[in-house]
Structure 1
Amino acid sequence: MRSAICMMAGTGLSFAGAAAPVAATPRNVVVTGGEISGFAADGITKYLGIPFAAPTGGAARFSSPRPAPPWPGIRQAHGHGPQCPQTGFLPAPLSTGPTSEDCLSIDLYVPDGTRDRNLPVMVFFHGGGYTDGSNSQYDAPSRMVAEGNVIVAIPNYRLGPFGFMSLPELAAESGGATGTAGIQDQQAALRWVHDNADAFGGDPSNVTIFGESAGAGSVCTHFTAPASDGLFGKVIIESGSCAKSPLVPSNRSDSFTRSQQYAESVGCGDPATQLACLRALPAAQLLESPIAQFDELPPTWIPSIDGVVVTRTLDTALARAADRRIPIIVGNNSNEGALFVAESLANGRIPDAASFEHYVRISFGAFADRVLAAYPLDRYSSPAAAQSAVITDGLFACPALFVSRIARDTGHAVWQYEFDEAAFGDANPLLPGAFHAGELPYLFTSLMSLPIPWTGPSDAFARQMQRWWTTFAHTGNPNGPGSPPWPAWPEPAGQSSDGPVLTMRATGSAMSYDFDAEHNCGFWDDYGPVP
């Protein structure tokens, strides 16, 4: 997602300069580990950089998170903690701060005067393909917090090889857990929220988890992780695939193979000494291997179904959770693929007929010939447009529909949407239409310390999106006063037709009943991997 923010800053959206600092007003709270001091800004109270787990370097690298050591006195929670070590999507990604293996911190954004208000808590998992991103990028959900009367918590979690290394030696020392350290970090953050929410005026029994891209994939993964049961009660899945996607958890054997290839690439190929070798290398050296990067190739760093932390497939997980009837919002953007095409351009790869075929073949394997036949280049204005359509339909829109069907069939209340607001217009040559991550500036009032300058209908639309999300956190239903109706999918009653999809636009949101046909989902029903 960081690359999306970088690209936004260089296009038609006119970001203002960073807001002038607001005089800090101490707001002291006692949490696990000790006392912290927050500060008032933007009409809310912020508590930044709170450790929820111990440093993860040295012998702790790749291991399960441990409790954060207590601190003496009052800790100033006035600045974001370091980012976790990471690579970027772009040749020179914009950093929001230093990186460190002491990165497991959480930021909290709290309405003023909430100490005894028992408010919903919304925990946001950032995106970035499991290789990139941090909580410091999402530094102002201020209006969502102030007007929606919710607490928003945003944790860091380990990324790339640090979060998803999967080796037999690692499994042997950790009771079988492997390839899931990043998910365990998120679980540790959720436990921290459960243990500390009431200190901020939050209700630990009313937690919504939401995320975008890999953050949405993380939300899905918590359905499949038994230790996450009971730590959340509602979910919002934004542009992240729970099924039929390269980012869904892989089987243990494939995870071992990918991590072994990576270890060999950094000079740690001997299985007898592999783990010690990897732990001894400097963090920066672990990120130099091309295998550490997220590119258009099938990703190396995704969670593993290790049988300990992640034990279930999505269909099994939703069926098991059906007794709790977890409400679900799931959706996609109407031109998700535009961002990924733009990233290829930024990396010097100009889409043409050959590169389109190459992308399809490395992404879809044995299914590639069918994809090429279903998306012929002569149907599109350019190879870039064809590639964008394949990505949008195959990796986002139809997987969202697939998840809605599973959720409906297993008894969950589900609301599906398609975000269709083009921040830069449909004809923008770099990021046309509602591209991947394009909904985030309508939910957050600042990204990477850059205020979002919406006015008029765009500002009203942003408030509406924030209202849908926060109303859902309060009640488990996005419908509320002042919002256009958004019907849930009907429960199956002897038939299995799809439910309505809310098309979200600043000019007027409306229900769609032909989402399946618009995105060629009948074709993509045959594509795996499936849950």
Structure 2
Amino acid sequence: MKSLNRRQFVTRMSLSAVAAATFSKTGYSAPGYFARTKMAEEFVDIETSYGKIRGIRTEGVNIFKGIPYGGRISGDRRFRRPAPLEPWAGVKETIQLGAPAIQSPRRGEPDPSEDCLFLNVWTPANDNKKRPVMFYNHGGGYVIGSGGSGGQDGANLARNFDVVVVETNHRLGLLGFLYLDEIAGSDYAGSGNMGVLDITEGLKWVNKNIVEFGGDPNNVMIWGESGGGAKTSCLYAMPEASPFFNKASIESGPGVRMTARETAAETTAKVLKELNISPKDWRKLLDVSAVDLLTVQSKFSFVAPHLEKNKPMFGFGPVVDGIVLPNHPFDPTAPNISRDKPLMTGWNEDEYTFFAWERKDTSAFTMDFAGLQTRLEPQYGADAKKIIETYRKSRPNASAPDIFVAISSITMMGLGSIDIAEKKAKQNGAPVYLYNFGYKSDMKIPGTDYPMGTPHAMDISFKFNNEVPPKAGEPPRMGFGGSKPDRFIASHNMAALWTGFARTGKPTAENLPAWPAYNLKDRPTMRIDTKCEVINDRFSEEVDVWKSIGKF
């Protein structure tokens, strides 16, 4: 490692260390995150297996952004494994984010590109110390997002908890998950899973190189939120990924089932029809511009087909192809291949409020109980009344909007998380730990007086320890976490538990209660807030009603 004094390069150095997380109309923009310019205190040169790279050291963290981890995936490599990454001569500057996958432009990031196989590393020091490695999979379903989103900046986690953080960009949407195996031949085997196979390439890069960044290649945790949680679920079940990680955390994105081959093949047929390409002429897909493919992609559901039950829906996501992904990750059982790998899983208490905010839909927050039943009947029919009665009994002080948020949140993310915990516990292998994140933000849903509570995606800035007091002279930042100072305590608690799990395989932290592994007798759940507490068999009456009507 070679460090270069800041004065030698100050005229060349100005970069955004925290960039806004901005998604397309089908995604989200976490309010309050904005670009901050940081100057390098010094530059750091590191030798990797492909060549020398240059990052920066600032505020006690070494940061490397835009490191190539795979070769070309455009041109004749579209829908295929990456071309080999070519070594380079000299020093490659890795001080700016690499291009994200094809999607709408993202504020504070380079223009999206097909060739998007870049990763970012945050480490306290490149000193050969064997720190736990936290390999994060970004959210955004399977169609948007990047490893450079501001709320998931890894500097605070690395600095405050002595870990190494890694995040990748990888193929998304149609370019990452178009299933061509049945029409394109052996060169395109695994085409329906290129997005998660890219992540596996990132894990292989970590295995070869992370020692140079002060990380331990034999202590790697994979984790992710929302679509990143579902990607993590896939990796947990993928033979090719298995040798390169030791534990996992699936957060507000329980990937119990993935897309069946039959559905994926039908989606491919619809794509070809949209482009007026016959199946025998599938190679013409290689000549269609990425922009045109993105336009076709927009005609399909943003929600991957396996995430909405009993609805004729086609979209893009990982495929149970029998090879790359041999089985559904957690159906009918937890994957045997990861039997000995500890797991965390859970969800946020008020997931739904994020989607109401994102869609500007305030209709749920003015309804009475008659309106609640009317709202639920199209989905649950005659069972709507039974569901409401159960929730009114278990939450006697809850309003109709409160109950709608609770029902929507647990059906979106909670039941799948519980299902994963139950199936993992039944294996009698490595432990599984179930959580609820419950810190309540004071941010209101625009156009209402209804609080966001603990919405989907709010956990990102908390578990990355990015809810911290502003530095002197820095304006206050307000995201989903709101403005109350006690959010800093909740953020520290969550980050401490996650890094404790990364370090030891047990989510432990100083001054926090012991978190018992989930079991089928007590069913303990850790509720994470300014004060953390273990609650046994939480939501038991509510879960029972979902079981009774066949929804769980």
Q: Tell me if both proteins adopt one fold, taking TM over 0.5 as the criterion.
A: yes
Partner of 2:111: 98
Question: Of the candidates 291, 294, 299, which is equivalent to residue 291 of structure 1?
Answer: 299
Question: Of the candidates 127, 140, 143, which is equivalent to residue 131 of structure 1?
Answer: 143
Counterpart of 1:136 in 2: which secondary structure?
Answer: coil
Is 1:414 matched with 2:432?
yes
More divergent stretch after superposition (469-478 vs 18-27): 18-27
Partner of 1:493: none
Q: Which amino acid aligns with 1:401?
A: I
Is 1:393 matched with 2:416?
no
Deviation at 1:511, TM superposition (A): 1.7
Counterpart of 1:106 in 2: which secondary structure?
Answer: strand
Matches for 1:102-251 after TM superposition, within 5 Å: 102-112=115-125, 114-138=126-150, 140-169=153-182, 172-174=185-187, 176-243=189-256, 248-251=257-260
Output the CA distance in 2 between the equivalents of 1:450 and 1:398.
39
Deviation at 1:326, TM superposition (A): 1.1
Unaligned runs of 5+ in 2: 1-20, 393-397, 468-473
- Contact 2:526 2:532 survives alignment (8 Å): yes
Question: Of the candidates 467, 482, 494, which is equivalent to residue 465 of structure 1?
Answer: 494
- Contact 2:513 2:534 survives alignment (8 Å): no
What CA deviation, in whole Å up to 9, does each residue of 1:276-328 have, x standing for no partner?
222211111111133345158845111101112100232577352365x2111
Output the CA distance in 2 between the equivalents of 1:29 and 1:261.
47
- Contact 2:62 2:124 survives alignment (8 Å): yes
Q: Which amino acid aligns with 1:197?
A: I
Q: Which amino acid aligns with 1:310?
A: L
Output the CA distance in 2 between the equivalents of 1:185 and 1:433.
35
- Contact 1:80 1:136 survives alignment (8 Å): yes
Partner of 1:50: 67
- Contact 1:241 1:395 survives alignment (8 Å): no
- Contact 2:523 2:537 survives alignment (8 Å): no
What CA deviation, in whole Å up to 9, does each residue of 1:192-235 have, x standing for no partner?
11111111121111000000011011111112211111211111
Q: Which amino acid aligns with 2:459?
A: E
Output the CA distance in 1 between the equivalents of 2:175 and 2:249.
26
Output the CA distance in 2 between the equivalents of 1:360 and 1:398.
20
What CA deviation, in whole Å up to 9, does each residue of 1:72-129 have, x standing for no partner?
21000100001100259xxxx75633100111100000013x4221111110000111
Output the CA distance in 1 between the equivalents of 2:518 and 2:87.
47
Deviation at 1:391, TM superposition (A): 3.1
Q: Which amino acid aligns with 2:442?
A: F
Partner of 2:44: 27
What CA deviation, in whole Å up to 9, does each residue of 1:250-295 have, x standing for no partner?
2111111122213322x24411112x22221111111113334515
Output the CA distance in 2 between the equivalents of 1:64 and 1:359.
45
Partner of 2:349: 334
More divergent stretch after superposition (151-160 vs 134-143): 134-143
Unaligned runs of 5+ in 1: 491-495
Change (3 A) 1:28 1:347: farther
Partner of 1:82: 99
More divergent stretch after superposition (285-294 vs 305-314): 285-294
RMSD: 3.4
Counterpart of 1:424 in 2: which secondary structure?
Answer: strand
Deviation at 1:178, TM superposition (A): 3.1
Matches for 1:489-504 after TM superposition, within 5 Å: 489-490=518-519, 496-504=520-528
Is 1:435 matched with 2:455?
yes
Matches for 1:318-397 after TM superposition, within 5 Å: 318=334, 320-321=336-337, 325-345=340-360, 368-369=380-381, 372-375=384-387, 388-397=405-414
- Contact 1:47 1:107 survives alignment (8 Å): yes
Change (3 A) 1:253 1:95: farther
Deviation at 1:461, TM superposition (A): 1.8
Q: Which amino acid aligns with 1:53?
A: G
Output the CA distance in 2 between the equivalents of 1:84 and 1:252.
24
Change (3 A) 1:432 1:57: same
- Contact 1:122 1:210 survives alignment (8 Å): yes
Q: How many residues get paired?
A: 499
More divergent stretch after superposition (159-168 vs 290-299): 290-299
Deviation at 1:480, TM superposition (A): 3.2
- Contact 1:322 1:410 survives alignment (8 Å): no
Counterpart of 1:152 in 2: which secondary structure?
Answer: strand
Partner of 2:546: 523
- Contact 2:100 2:113 survives alignment (8 Å): yes
Partner of 2:395: none
Change (3 A) 1:480 1:354: closer
- Contact 1:144 1:467 survives alignment (8 Å): no
- Contact 1:82 1:97 survives alignment (8 Å): yes
Change (3 A) 1:29 1:456: same
Question: Of the candidates 442, 452, 477, which is equivalent to residue 424 of structure 1?
Answer: 442
What CA deviation, in whole Å up to 9, does each residue of 1:452-487 have, x standing for no partner?
567742212211111111111111111132323222
- Contact 2:232 2:248 survives alignment (8 Å): yes
Change (3 A) 1:392 1:441: same
Change (3 A) 1:350 1:462: closer
Output the CA distance in 2 between the equivalents of 1:373 and 1:418.
26
Output the CA distance in 2 between the equivalents of 1:60 and 1:387.
46
Counterpart of 1:129 in 2: which secondary structure?
Answer: coil
Flag the structure with more relative contact order, 1 or 2, with Cα contacts below 8 A and sequence separation at least 6: 1
Deviation at 1:527, TM superposition (A): 4.7
Deviation at 1:512, TM superposition (A): 1.6
Output the CA distance in 2 between the equivalents of 1:271 and 1:131.
24
Q: Which amino acid aligns with 1:179?
A: G
Q: Which amino acid aligns with 1:262?
A: V
Q: Which amino acid aligns with 2:318?
A: P
What CA deviation, in whole Å up to 9, does each residue of 1:14-72 have, x standing for no partner?
65x54342225221111132110110123200010001111211211111223322222
Q: Which amino acid aligns with 1:461?
A: A
Q: Which amino acid aligns with 1:344?
A: R
Output the CA distance in 2 between the equivalents of 1:309 and 1:108.
27
State the TM-score, normalized to the length of structure 1: 0.84
Q: Which amino acid aligns with 1:193?
A: V
- Contact 1:18 1:451 survives alignment (8 Å): no
Question: Of the candidates 270, 273, 285, which is equivalent to residue 278 of structure 1?
Answer: 285
Change (3 A) 1:519 1:301: farther
State the TM-score, normalized to the length of structure 2: 0.81
Output the CA distance in 2 between the equivalents of 1:450 and 1:184.
41
Output the CA distance in 2 between the equivalents of 1:497 and 1:272.
56
